[in-house]
Amino acid sequence: MSAIDSLPPLRDVIRAHDLRARKSMGQNFLLDLNLTAKIARAAGDLTACDVLEIGPGPGGLTRGLLAEGARHVLAIEKDSRCLPPLGEIAEAYPGRLTVLEGDALQIDPLVHLTPPIRVAANLPYNVGTELLVRWLTPGTWPPFWQSLTLMFQREVAERIVAQPGSKAYGRLAILAQWRSDARIVLQLPPDAFTPPPKVSSSVVHLTALPEARFPADAEVLSRVVAAAFNQRRKMLRAALKGVAPDIEDRLISAGLKPTDRAEQVPLEGFCALARAVAET
Ligand code: SAM
């Protein structure tokens, strides 16, 4: 019998440990192990990797990651009620699962991880977006992670992979696509979760590129993109007035039309503009 078969079904685990989902913790659990195996497979080849899992809950995805051969899983969970069931999984996979209790926004996981590292999580959406932005904007590139496989509400997932010309295109798309390959790998209806959330969800897989797709200073790019999309309906020359007094000239030298709107500008255009703005 494999380790995963020696563990009780997740519904029994939830009953035995009285793990009623708490709204305050953003808890919508995945109890179908076929589905969690699918998500674990979407994370790529785990056999030579340490995997950082945020918010393991009762451990459905954790089981998937271990069964798919993760060398080691470091799981960070805020709800102490989940620790006993996670302990049972750790016993079934000796030496391969470490669980830390705490808030993923406060804990530095790196001391517990050995590269190469992949990240996988089904997290509350607000925490997921905040962590994603942090993971995409480290002090130096390449980052500590090789890939991120993350569940988001569908609307947020669409913002991550959005292309110019669409309503979803904005800061998140540029941030994600500048230094990583981002794609939606799985769509999930609300009833895939217990309890079901109000909206559909998607799993996004991001692979870190060794270098940015186009050269630009990260801080300048971020400032230009934030200003451009804060007033996305305005023409660039108006939206970016505060970025540089001679912004019209800089837009033209970047090959952009001052009358364009942020939504029309491809990633390459924003990088050219960030370079033009950085010029003294
Ligand atoms: N991964 C599990 C699954 O797929 O069934 C649980 C998913 S549930 C959407 C989110 C999990 O993240 C919960 O177990 C919750 O307790 C945990 N969580 C919420 N906020 C957290 C935080 N700031 N740090 C770590 N875990 C958190």
The arithmetic mean of pLDDT across residues 224-230, rounded, is: 97
Whether this model's ipTM surpasses 0.90 comes out as yes
Q: What is the pLDDT of residues 46-97, one digit of tens each?
A: 999 999 999 999 999 999 999 999 999 999 999 999 999 999 999 999 999 9
CATH of 218-278, one of 3.40.50.2300, 1.10.1140.10, 3.40.50.1370, 1.10.8.100: 1.10.8.100
The residue whose CA has the least distance to atom 14 of ligand 1 is: 57
The residue whose CA has the least distance to atom 18 of ligand 1 is: 55
Task: Find out whether 77 is annotated in a ligand binding site.
Answer: yes
In terms of Cα–Cα distance, which of 39, 87, 31, 99 is closest to 67?
39
CATH of 3-208, one of 3.40.50.150, 3.40.50.460, 3.40.1110.10, 3.40.50.2300: 3.40.50.150
pLDDT at residue 6 in the model: 84
Q: Is the predicted pLDDT of residue 1 greater than 70, yes or no?
A: no
Please tell me the distance between residue 29's alpha carbon and the centre of ligand 1 in angstroms: 8
Angle subtended by helix axes 218-230 and 267-278, to nearest 10: 110
Same-fold call for 3-208 versus 218-278: no
pLDDT at residue 280 in the model: 79
pLDDT at residue 4 in the model: 64
Q: Comparing 17-21, 148-152, 156-160, 184-188, which segment has the lowest mean pLDDT?
A: 17-21
Average of per-residue pLDDT values in the chain: 96
Domain ranges of the chain: 3-208, 218-278
Cβ of residue 64 lying under 6 Å from some atom of ligand 1: no
The arithmetic mean of pLDDT across residues 16-21, rounded, is: 93
The residue whose CA has the least distance to atom 5 of ligand 1 is: 29
Task: Find out whether 30 is annotated in a ligand binding site.
Answer: yes
Alpha-carbon distances, residue 69 vs 10, 74, 230, 248, 268 (angstroms):
20, 14, 44, 54, 38
